């Protein structure tokens, strides 16, 4: 189980008013499933995802993963949480352009001080359907393939939770759907939390839709099970 308890974030802006980007958010997630966080631009979606994923620290509140609270986390605990418990996928892929597909994925293991195990990387490449592409550089891949590399990089750490911030934002609709279908498949084994502003995608692929407005949760709906057509 994964929880946000009283999670708040205030940004202090130089020569400006404080921005209360997230206000006292309480959420409880199961161990698996595809959860969408929906909301307009500026509603606090990325802020929430960054706090849940340990990329940024809350101004107040805590996250609790399997009974372990972030309340007493030191810097090293946050690093460990980020490196071991969660994986991130971003809209712009954030791949290293000079490195091959294999090395982009291997770096995630090295950051964990694990040996780059070719068999582990091969298995992840298989999962994201990128076998045969391991020696290419990001520039030699399509947008959808790059996002699959980013997903593979998140997965190779075998995290409990995969976070994706607008993962289809830079892709055409059909490619976006194939990425969401892949994340949906992964969500049978892991908790997958996806930020989007696309209500149709959320309704088509989500098990649950949490809606944010002005930094607060204004909707939280569990959707009936559905059959996703695999492309
Ligand atoms: P979303 O992802 O839903 O578009 P964000 O979480 O990025 O929204 O932003 C929520 C609010 O916080 C916005 O008003 C945004 O301008 C503000 N914000 C985000 N990051 C910062 C920052 N580093 N400094 C100041 N304000 C920020
Ligand atoms: Mg955002």
Domain-wise residue ranges, the chain: 2-222
Mean pLDDT over 163-186 rounds to 96
115, two tokens: 């040996």
In the chain, % of residues over pLDDT 70: 98
Residues near 43 by Cβ (< 8 Å), separated by ≥ 6?
A: 212, 213, 214, 215
pLDDT for the residue numbered 109: 87
Question: Quick one: which of 17, 5, 11 has its CA closest to 56?
Answer: 11
> Which H, E and C letters describe 184-215, residue by residue?
HHHCCCCEEEEEECCHHHHHHHCCEEEEEECC
Output the six-digit token pair for 19. 């921005």
Distance, CA of 174 to CA of 210 (rounded, Å):
24
Tell me the C-alpha distance between 127 and 185, whole Å: 10
pLDDT at 230 over 60: no
**Cα separation of 171 and 178, whole Å?**
10
Mutate which of 42, 53, 216 for ligand 1? The one with the most ligand atoms within 8 Å of its CB, which is: 42
- Is 87 close to ligand 1, i.e. is its CB under 6 Å away? no
Asked if residue 169 has its Cβ within 6 Å of ligand 1, the reply is no
**65 vs 115, higher pLDDT:** 65
Smallest CA-to-CA distance from 144 within 179, 117, 173, 190 is with 179
Among protein residues, the one with the nearest Cα to ligand 1's atom 23 is 11
Does ligand 1 lie within 6 Å of residue 191's CB atom?
no
User: Relative to the CA of 48, which ligand 1 atom is closest?
Assistant: 6
Residue 47 in contact with ligand 1 by CB distance below 6 A: yes
Atom of ligand 1 nearest to the CA of 166: 2
Give yes or no for residue 169 having a pLDDT over 60.
yes
Residue closest via CA to ligand 1's atom 14 equals 42
Predicted TM-score (pTM) of this structure: 0.95
* Mutate-to-test residue for ligand 1 from 9, 11, 20, highest number of ligand atoms within 8 A of CB: 11
CATH classification number, 2-222, choose in 3.40.640.10, 3.40.50.300, 3.30.230.20, 3.40.50.150: 3.40.50.300
Residue 25 in 3-state DSSP? strand
User: How far does the centroid of ligand 1 lie from the alpha carbon of residue 24, in Å?
Assistant: 16
Separation between Cα atoms, residue 227 and residue 99, nearest integer Å: 37
**What pLDDT was estimated at residue 227?**
65
DSSP code of 226? -
Task: Reply yes or no on whether the pLDDT at 229 is more than 60.
Answer: no
Give me ligand 2 centre to Cα 41, in Å. Answer: 7
Residue 54, pLDDT > 80, answer yes
**Could you tell me if the CB of 15 is within 6 A of ligand 1?**
no
Question: Do 6 and 62 contact (CB within 8 A), yes or no?
Answer: yes
CA distance 56 to 72: 15
In residues, how long is the chain? 231
Query: Nearest to residue 164, comparing CAs of 87, 227, 62, 96?
Result: 87
């Amino acid at each position: 189980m994964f929880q946000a308890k009283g999670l708040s974030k205030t940004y202090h802006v130089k020569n400006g008013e404080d921005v209360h980007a997230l206000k006292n958010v309480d959420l409880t997630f199961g161990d698996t499933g595809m959860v969408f966080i929906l909301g307009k631009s500026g509603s606090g979606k990325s802020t929430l995802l960054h706090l849940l994923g340990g990329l940024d620290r809350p101004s107040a509140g805590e996250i609790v993963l399997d009974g372990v609270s972030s309340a007493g986390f030191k810097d090293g605990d946050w690093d460990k949480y980020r490196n071991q418990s969660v994986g991130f996928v971003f809209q712009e892929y954030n791949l290293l352009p000079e490195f091959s597909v294999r090395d982009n994925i291997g770096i995630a293991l090295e950051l964990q001080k694990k040996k780059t195990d070719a068999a582990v990387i091969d298995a992840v490449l298989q999962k994201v359907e990128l076998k045969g592409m391991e020696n290419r550089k990001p520039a030699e891949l399509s947008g959808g393939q790059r996002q699959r590399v980013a997903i593979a990089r998140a997965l190779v750490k075998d995290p409990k939770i995969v976070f994706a911030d607008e993962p289809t934002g830079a892709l055409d609709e059909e490619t976006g759907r194939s990425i969401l279908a892949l994340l949906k498949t992964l969500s049978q084994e892991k908790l997958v939390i996806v930020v989007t502003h696309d209500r149709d995608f959320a309704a088509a692929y989500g098990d649950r839709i949490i809606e944010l407005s002005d930094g607060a949760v204004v909707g939280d709906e569990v959707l009936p099970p559905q059959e996703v057509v695999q492309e």
